[in-house]
Amino acid sequence: MRTSPKGIALIKEFEGLRLESYQCSAGKWTIGYGSTRGVKPAMTITPTEAEERLAFDLRHAEAAVERFAPATIRQHQFDALVSFAFNLGTEALRHSTLLAKLSRGDARGAAEEFDRWVYAGGKVLPGLARRRAAERVMFEGK
């Protein structure tokens, strides 16, 4: 399965496009649409390079969702999980209660878990809260 245009739009909306490297709230050097691979201070890229990085990073997140999530998930659930893994990392998804509930067939309980992933440094970040809410709506197919 591949991320749909709606899923990609959600990721782009919350990641934003930055053509110069910056440190994200977790302190990681980041560029483009949230790419951290090989990013260094004072690095710049073109919009085309940002799209290429996004495609590469999406393949990594998609592979993790395909590996860890039940094969029966629907496109909207896949898209939400890819956004989640893209933002938090594939290991966060792998070890999450969200995935455990989904694997047990509890899609409703899994959807509720999105609301728990809004913290950075022990504080609720409004941007994370908005993103998780949007991912939950997408996951629920609304």
Number of residues that this document lists for the chain: 142
Residues β-bridged to residue 119: 124
Task: Exactly one of 13, 15, 52, 135 is catalytic; name it.
Answer: 15
Closest CA to 27 of 15, 17, 14, 36: 36
Task: Exactly one of 24, 49, 52, 112 is catalytic; name it.
Answer: 24
51 has catalytic annotation: no
15 has catalytic annotation: yes
d(CA 102, CA 115): 15
Contact 70, 103 (CB under 8 A): yes
What residues act catalytically?
15, 24
